[in-house]
Chain A
């Protein structure tokens, strides 16, 4: 995989990963992740379904999605999650204890 790519090329690689790895994985929890854009190496995404408002969404982002993307495109600088998690109505994991 290329170490350093422009945003358009990164978008294509990331989109393929979303289709083949990321979304099949989160679908197990009723979730879906939409790729919005790649801007200056930052992947902009939105979480939906079971991921939206999920108490473990940050773990999915950091330990799952970001790890996969950086392995495929090392020049990825990070993720920007634009999800309105407060509007999630069916989160897979619900925070609710101290």
Chain B
């Protein structure tokens, strides 16, 4: 008989709260709009943990499976925390994990309340707040673009007159480059401001608690952009992958397309990018969990554009496999660390890896995406996933921030990965009416 079994309480579980099979329980917090449901659920099942999936809306099986499915008010983190605490009182939880900015905050609050090691809640909150993040990083000397914060009802001419150009307008309250517009002069600023106003109205962000929505005016930083995927343990940032973004992101809108790792820029430049990301992690006070960092680099060095205390978005994580045979997914790695099931950080699988987020070429109704078989047949392509459905209205950036789908590639060298992604994209025929 094991020690665990001897510790079983009257509820049929051990004092440490494992389930009947002695497994730790993970509270996986997923918004219903995430692309990452399957990847994280399957990762949790591969780790053989007891799993409770939590979303902001009821599952069809919430009533039948109350230990496995939990509804949390994710729009109100404090309320979500109370709901999670009530759940954990009856069904012990060993760790919570959130997959996006909002759920990462709730997960940190839950972990903190349960005494599970986590980044400080204030650090995760600051990381998820575009203004607070920039203030903290700038104060700590992390190189961030100069910025000012305004609200939409300020006289636009006055804001434009006080702005250095080129600049980028960024709504504080929208995600994934939605509403992010470059302006090169006062006239362009006014046009961008008008467009941003329409976007915020369409998104239902006219006013929050009586206050008009706010936006950042950020100095445009020239230079190539990078994405760093990391895992923080004890405050140290372990770089899982550094992606090049070979398509220039110069505006007026900032649509993500191709990510390729390993990076092809000189090693010294890579080290500078990694140091900037580590400095940002330290400045914010993050000590544990995922970190996704967007950076630029130019002759003045690295620039921290954005940091998020969550894993890479979309379905991009699919290309990141770890261990000599690529046997560990990114999601497994994050969840295993969240539950302290592993303490090491295995290296990225050998070779080069890439993903292309398929842009929406124009607004309309998606009728069909032809050529996926031909795209899949391109050497190096390991997957094509169309995530929008036929008949769906599609809207390109900056009004919306969705992708048509994703193409994944793996090859010996980054050049081959990038070429494969471009060749696969050329095979696709996107029919929009």
Contacts and interface: CB of A to CB of B under 8 A. Distances in A.
A3 interface: no
B61 A68 contact: yes
B59 A60 contact: yes
B55 interface: yes
Interface string B360-398: 000000000000000000000000011101111000000
Nearest to B99: A98
Contact of B313 (A56, A59, A86, A98): A98
Contacts, number: 105
Given A63-B51, A89-B391, A21 B33 contact: no
B61 A97 contact: no
Contact of A89 (B42, B386, B390): B390
Nearest to B315: A95
Contacts of A86: 385-386, 389
Most buried by B among A56, A64, A65, A94: A56
Given A95-B34, A98-B176, A63 B60 contact: no
Contacts of B140: none
Most buried by A among B59, B60, B314, B390: B60
Interface in B22-42: 30-35, 37-38, 41-42
Contact of A63 (B32, B34, B59): B59
Contacts of B314: 98
B45 interface: yes
B65 interface: yes
Interface string B48-86: 000101010101110011001100000000000000000
Interface in A33-68: 53, 55-60, 62-65, 67-68
B428 to A, nearest CB: 13
B33 A59 contact: no
Given A31-B60, A97-B401, A98-B314, A56 B389 contact: no
User: Which range contains the number of B residues in contact with the other chain?
Assistant: 35 or more
Interface in B210-232: none
B41 A62 contact: yes
Contacts of A28: 60
A98 to B, nearest CB: 3
Contact of B60 (A26, A62, A94, A95): A26
A38 to B, nearest CB: 20
Given A62-B45, A97-B176, A56 B32 contact: yes
A55 B314 CA distance: 12
Given A58-B42, A62-B45, A86-B386, A96 B402 contact: yes
A88 B33 CA distance: 16
B33 A55 contact: yes
Nearest to A28: B60
Interface of B: 30-35, 37-38, 41-42, 45, 51, 53, 55, 57, 59-61, 64-65, 68-69, 100, 175-176, 313-314, 385-387, 389-392, 401-402
Given A59-B55, A63-B59, 16 more contacts: A55-B32, A55-B34, A55-B35, A59-B30, A59-B59, A59-B69, A63-B68, A65-B61, A67-B68, A87-B390, A97-B33, A97-B34, A97-B175, A97-B402, A98-B175, A98-B313
Give 7 nearest A-B pairs by CB, closest first: A98-B313, A64-B61, A58-B38, A93-B32, A63-B68, A98-B176, A95-B35
Interface of A: 21, 25-26, 28-29, 31, 53, 55-60, 62-65, 67-68, 86-91, 93-98
